[in-house]
Amino acid sequence: MLEKRVIVCLDVRDGKTTKGVKFAGNVDIGDPVEMAAKYYEDGVDELVFYDITASAEGRGIMIDVVRRVAERIFIPFCVGGGIASVDDMRAVLLAGAEKVSVNSQAVRNPSIITDGAMRFGNQAIVLAMDALADPAMPSGYRVVINGGRVPTELDALEWACKAVDLGAGEIVVNSIDADGTRDGYELTVTRLLADGVGVPVVASGGAGVPQHLVDVFDHGHADAALVASMVHYGDFSIESIKKHVAASGIPVRRSL
């Protein structure tokens, strides 16, 4: 079994890291560059930065933050939010990121996935998906865009499979129902995608204690797991999370 990855997610709004519950009630909790440096020193495997209001506000990406993060950390990191073109992708990658994440823009313009994969390689293109439980959809989950604000007619599993066919090298599935609740990942949708696509699937939304990562690796078949609240508020360290996962018999990269 390949080693599982622990990834810290930093939602950024107006240059500050912010956190909410189910995409609402966000409060600012710190400087993303300083937080990134701390998590790097603590031994996190990767970082993800989402500009959570860029798409809804119709503005560009946070290149200055990307550059400053790249000067401080030496692990892979991914950037999403407001990426609307191959030129945007190039700017983010040149600023120091290893991956770019597309979500709402990919729904509106799926060819951005193919164009990005052809230019920069599949490994650099991540599809992020916000999924909402909905029994009306074939898989039981509906894709929602614009930071959880706008429901689409896309089925989560069908969209994930199409995105991989278009060139996405990784899928991040975020459960809107679980987001920020700290009650655990949504295992059903994670496993559905992990078993249904041929690329790594990253679980997102709901982590509250280290056992939740064990559950999503074991029962959700995730290749990696995003954490946010449980580390942002100091309840757990990267080291303590990894120790718990390793003690459960799941291979994980050890902290520095």
Q: Round to whole Å and give the CA distance between 157 and 255.
A: 33
How does DSSP classify residue 55?
A: H
How many domains is the chain built from?
Answer: 1
Tokens of 185: 């990942």
Q: What 3-state DSSP class applies to 253? A: coil
In a domain, 178, yes or no: yes
- 50 falls in which pLDDT band (50, 70, 90)? confident
Phi/psi at 24 (nearest 5 deg)?
Answer: -140, 165
Determine which one of 88, 130, 179, 215 is catalytic. Answer: 130
Q: 196 lies in which domain range?
A: 5-247
Catalytic residue at 31?
no
pLDDT of 100 higher than 90: yes
Q: Is 130 considered catalytic here?
A: yes
Is this structure's pTM higher than 0.75?
yes
DSSP state of 91: H
The pLDDT tens digits for 129-174 are 999 999 999 999 999 998 778 999 999 999 999 999 999 999 999 9
Domain membership flag for residue 252: no
Strands 201-204 and 224-227: parallel
pLDDT tens for 184-238 read: 999 999 999 999 999 999 999 999 999 999 999 999 999 999 998 899 888 999 9
The answer to whether residue 162 sits within a structural domain is yes
Flag whether 254 is in a domain.
no
CATH number at residue 167: 3.20.20.70
Cα separation, 8 vs 137, in Å, equals: 30
Q: Does a structural domain hold residue 255?
A: no
